[in-house]
Structure 1
Amino acid sequence: MVRRKVSIVWLPLSVMTAMALTAGACALWLPDRAPALLDSAKEITSVPVNTQQYSGQQQVTVVPTMSASYGLIGNASGTVTANWSGAGLNSGAAAYKVNDRVVIALNTASPLYRDLTVGDQGDDVRALNDELGRLGYTSASGTDLYDWRTRAGWQQLMSDSGNTSDGSLHLADVLWIPQSSVRTESWSAGVGVVVNASDIVGEVPGGITSLTIKNGQALDRSRVLTVFDQTTVLPAGETTVSDAAFCQQVALTEGFRTMTADMLSAGFDATLAFEEPVTVLRVPAGAVYGITGSTGCVVADGEETPVLIVGAELGVSLVRPSDDTDTSAISEVALGSRLSQLTCG
């Protein structure tokens, strides 16, 4: 009988294989156990808060409401021999020439409609006196009488423009404009063109009657609105500015004058900021509940507190109490499940 010899090499290998199979079987049947790192984290139900001074500055878009365009009616008849309308018209300055005589653009509170001389009276005379005074010429400002002062002022204005004058106002020398400075469009009184009195020689685009903050929210405090470096106060509770003087200032800026109709309808950039910085709380956005518009509530130091949302940053709401709660006295606000059953107010 031949006896087979088992190689000594296979013996340890067999033992190791058996051990591995046993360990695998044990692991298969042992119950699962989650690592300690995967234990559910403890819920955070309150956080400390800080205060900061907030200017409320923000970039906004303002949309203008424009009045209808206005036709400029000439009073002179003849051939246009010069034209200065391209850069706009300014009260007291030359607009164009007809038969080599300068026509002056003039903004008076009451449009001029007749020739005037010493002794004439009326609202048109008062308007002329006031405008001559504003332009720095001698006049009887505040009165409705065309006297020697009016004559002297008008004669000097004519002389400055290159016209001869005896001091009487001839309507043909005047082009009435609706504002002290206007830009023109559809101008027809080009050099060489024959014009007649009562012809419309050009149009003034409609002026700004109001400026509205696009998608703006009214606040309980006034703010400063800056448009093309012009500033005004936006009253509390308002999102529209209709102050005529401010609207005209904006309309006269280079930035506005270069805008097309499409650009105006889309709106243009502006800046809003509080007149004075306010103290606000920086709270997690999730701490504010029951939000309606720019109002909501927080649980501050265990007490429900109504707040006004004045701004926001990434993940943070900037709020201040809308009641008599002292903002700087608040130390923490509630979060998470502590708010789940609450309704603001």
Structure 2
Amino acid sequence: MARSGPVAAASLAVLVALGAGLGVGVWLARPPVPTALENGGTLSVSPVGERAWDDARTVTLTVTSQAEQSLTSLLSGRVTSSSCSPGAAVTSGTSVMGVDGAGLLALATSVPLWRDLTTGDKGADAAALNAELTRLGHAAPHSDRVTRATVAAYRALAAAAGTAAPTDGVVRAASVMWLPAPSITVATCPVRTGDVVAQGDPLVTLHAGQVATIGALPADALAGDRVLVVDGERVPVGTDGQVTETEALAAVLASSAYAGATPDDQGTRQLSLTWALRDPASVRVVPPSAVAGAGAGSTCLVATDGTPLPVQVVGSELGQTFVLPAGDGDPPVLPAQVQAAPAATTTCG
């Protein structure tokens, strides 16, 4: 029994050495700790889903009764051309009549052009001109100021309509026949080719009818063609908020919303309807906690490696947030997973 002491001591020394070696091996084999897990943190990830989103909003459609109206001339001279015909449509961006050899360009601006406009002019009429040129597919600015782009867009539209395009940079009010809507139906044609007209004489008269317009379009709505949902039917509406197609307007006037709305003294009715994208957008779906930078001017998701991914928040529903990739240049490709709760100190760029 006296000899067991040294043996036991030697065995213990071997075991201690082996244990130390194993510990060193385990320490050396341990993978690096991700930044997100340092200081005892726990990285929680969330999947990035995908769904169709029609960006539906509730809007107020104002339906007003329009009395018989005349479209008048700002020029004095002889009518040298006319394609005016009772029952026919006149649409914005076309020409149906010319005076003294110059075609009049029909334009449905929200404010009639009451003065000649040139580069630098500013006002509601300039804003209305820019908006209508944009609606008609031309590259006019989104502002209340006339720029060289405004004049170039007007020149291109006038040339396409077969009217005289300005060469001196001036959009002349007398060259425009104002329309109260993007498309109107002619009731009568008071003048014919060869007639002499004075300033203020009627050129075209319109039937009485209804005009339907969304008064205030949501500024943060996703871009794209839109529809109104009327008794379950999706009817087209213009980018300016006007319902101009005959069948679409008929659907509005026959709707339960129209029947249930109380007209005011002028016969105007206010209808609450759903306004949605015609073709739903494909958006990404994340929990609200995954969105960093909310309220700081920019928002982002954060990849599992800590990279911020700029996004635009476009909606939410039932505890889910809908986003689209954002940022200058090519938007980022969103991964399948992101951090579920980025640090409050995260900056998005």
TM-score (norm 1): 0.44
Larger Rg: 1
TM-score (norm 2): 0.43
